[in-house]
Amino acid sequence: AGAAATALDYFRIEVLPDGIALVTIDCPGESVNTLSAGMMADFEKVMAAVEGDASVKAVVLASGKPGTWVAGADIKMLEAAKSAEELTALAHNGQKAMDRIAASKKPFVAAVDGTCMGGGLELALACHYRIAT
C-alpha cells in the first residue's frame, strides 16, 4: 500500500503506510513559513483530515523551506489589522489552533530544521514532542 497524499495551499499531507501523517508546511511564494490567515484556514482542514482519519496514529509537522521551520506571525497580516480588537482576535484564533494541537488525542511531533521564532516556537511548543536540528 502506498502513501495517500493531500495538497492544500499551505500544507501537504502524506499519510505513510505506518500510520504517520507527514504534514509539510510550505507557504506558497514565500522564502519562509509564517502564520497567516490563509495558513490558519488550511490548518483547520489539516486538523479535520488527521483527526478524522482512523489510520493516522501520529502527526509530524515539517517545513518545506530549507533551513527554516516557521518564522512566526505574518507581519503583513498584523500591519493590515485596523484595530486592537482585530489584533486580539488574530491572537485568539492562533492560540485556539495551538490549543487544538496540544489537546489532540494523536501525538504531534514538531520536526524543526532551522530557525523557529515567535509564533513558530509557540507552534513547536504546542506539539507533544519536538525534534530539532
From CA 5, how far away is CA 27, in angstroms rounded? 17
Q: Is pTM, for the whole model, over 0.95?
A: no
Beta strand pairing status for 11-15 and 20-25?
Answer: antiparallel
43-98 pLDDT, tens digit per residue, is: 999 999 999 999 999 999 999 999 999 988 878 878 788 888 888 888 888 899 99
Do 97 and 40 form a contact (C-beta atoms < 8 A)? Answer: yes
- Helix (H) / strand (E) containing 44: helix 37-52
From CA 39, how far away is CA 35, in angstroms rounded? 6
